[in-house]
Structure 1
Amino acid sequence: MINYRTYEAEDFLFDASFRQWTTESSPQAALFWNRWLAQNPDRADVVRQAQELVRALDAHYRDDATENRLADELNRLVGKAVEHRDTELDVPVRPLGQRLWWRWAVAASVLLISLSTWLFVNRAPKPATDPYEYLTKTVTLPLQEKVNTGPKAINILLSDGSVVTLNPNSRLSYPERFDNTTRTVYLSGEAFFDVMKNPAKPFLIYANQTVTKVLGTSFLVRAYTGEKDVTVMVKTGRVSVYSQKDYELAQQSGLRRVEGVVLTPNQQMTYNLEENKLVKALVAKPAALIANRPSREQVFEDAPVDKVFSSIERMYGIKLLFDEEALANCLVNLTFNEENLLERLDVICQTIGASYEVLDGQIVITSKGCH
């Protein structure tokens, strides 16, 4: 039986079961290694080091990360390291399959240096002229993209009910459905975000080397490619802004605290790309923020509900599907100001006894009508 307690980080790399546990969803491998790690907690640091090396190799060969490919690369690195050390010590080179413990001891230091150098060269992200292009091509979750090439802002309804007002010459990429942990989108250009509140699922905007994190609020992000600054201005709620490098480093290392800037209404953050510096300040002209989207105030007195829905469609640029004949007798008296899209629909539907759901970027309203 293999004595894994004697293994160092480089030894684990040659174990197929260990690599399956690290890079694949193998129940059998997971059961074995989780149990072994629970029984040998003092080996956790060595195992963690080995996993980082395996993941780096797997990421480098993401399109062809077969067991043979990974094993060949490991064997090549080990062989090169041992050959180099054996040459220096004038020791005959044995076949790689005869991995005697004395040879591992001799080659270990050279192997780790070789692996560290290889990982630094191959694991580091290749420089991208456009951070937006790089991020949207490397993310694992399928994305759909909206591009605004027109002269006016357009509104985009996301699957969680959040609304993004995308300004001209801007692009937004987002998943059709968000995953179970976060709501992540990618922006190039300028957009106003009206985010639905969900404390259990943070909303993240990646924009030109910055990450903006919110739970539910409204704010503007300006991050055009070619401009030296990224700007975030808050209308309502609280917003946290980080440099992308600091945010991702904290996520990878498991740190709970990451240096950033917290913004409240009428505050803004400017991130200088050349100096990698976050600067917090007051918004000089709050009205300029509101000018990037339509007025939010709506007043309806004895208004047919189909007219109310039409007004909301024009304001948000989002299609509302409903049965006009069934709602022909429905009249409402309502005033809206700071409510977001779904809050307005909640009020209307409660008033007329209707319900709605978000489907494929549209809102479907169901009602038995008014009598």
Structure 2
Amino acid sequence: MSRKEFGFLLQQYLDGKCSEDERAFVEHWYGIVQNKDREPLQETDFQALEPLLWQQIQSRTQSPKVIPMPVSSPRRQFSYPWMAVAASIVLVLLAGWWFYRQQGGLLTYENEISQEIDHADWQQRTNSSDKAEVIQLSDGSQVRLAPQSSIQYPAKFAADKREIALKGEAFFSVQKMPTRPFYVYTGTVVTKVLGTSFLVKTQATTKQVVVEVATGRVAVYKQTKVAETATATNAIVLSPNQKATYSPENQQFVTGLVERPQVISAEKSVTQPRSFEFDDVPLRRVIVQLEEAYGLTIKLENENQNECPLTADLSNLSLYAQLDMICAATKSSYTVQGTTILISGKGCANL
């Protein structure tokens, strides 16, 4: 059977031009007419599947299992072994395709990690409970694995690198080892660190991968092969309280701030504790203190805002609540633009 003949057979069935024997044979394998739980196949469905079907038929006809069927017409153009193989393969592939549509592409995503990683000595841990599970790694790093998530990793890391594959969500606290970078593979997204703490999670519905940094710096980039561990030229470097979201749909990263930015640890050389109590302090100095506390970039849009005095106690408030109070006191507003916060206003002269 040629590919043209194969396509002709499917088209004859769709057009209702098959003989009774051909129709009964095809319907027997498709399982469509008598199965009310499955959608009727449309012509566009066959058009989309035809290249894949033909490729599979070619790869599986070395020693085909022959399923006999009755002959009713001398005009039949196709040998029955070929038709049996074609119909049986169509049935299997259509069933998988139908399930794929029902699950929204879940099969492809869930198999992505296993396709990329093929190390016989790697072990897998799955958290089937309803609470986070802490996993201690051989290098002293820790993984806080969220419920219904799993990781794959070697019992002992290599001398030059540390690699882990993640499906789901996990918070990593990585031991600092400059000569042994730590890689987390989530589908085609790679997170590379030397020593830091960060969160990696996959959105259940959109399959977007989100990386949020708690401490240190993290490089995030797209990659197709686990073996290629060199940082990509288009890597995005994230600092504390920053995040990057990768969308499989457009294959792009979008940067932003985490939902609740946290105060980062002060340098050891800094002995004076941080204070968020301000008494007639110029706004520019308030901004500097917030930047140092959260490790973020905060800009004033108007130079006239620099010397605006602020008297307020911002202690025990989240960053965004602090910004709300500052803006209320200075008659300004703020927006988050990527990883930068911009405060806009006319300045204190117009208060």
Greater C-alpha Rg? 2
Band of TM-score, shorter chain:
0.3 to 0.5
Structure 1 length-normalised TM: 0.39
- Name the structure, 1 or 2, with higher relative contact order (CA <8 Å, separation 6+): 1
Q: Higher helix share goes to which structure?
A: 1
TM-score by length of 2: 0.41
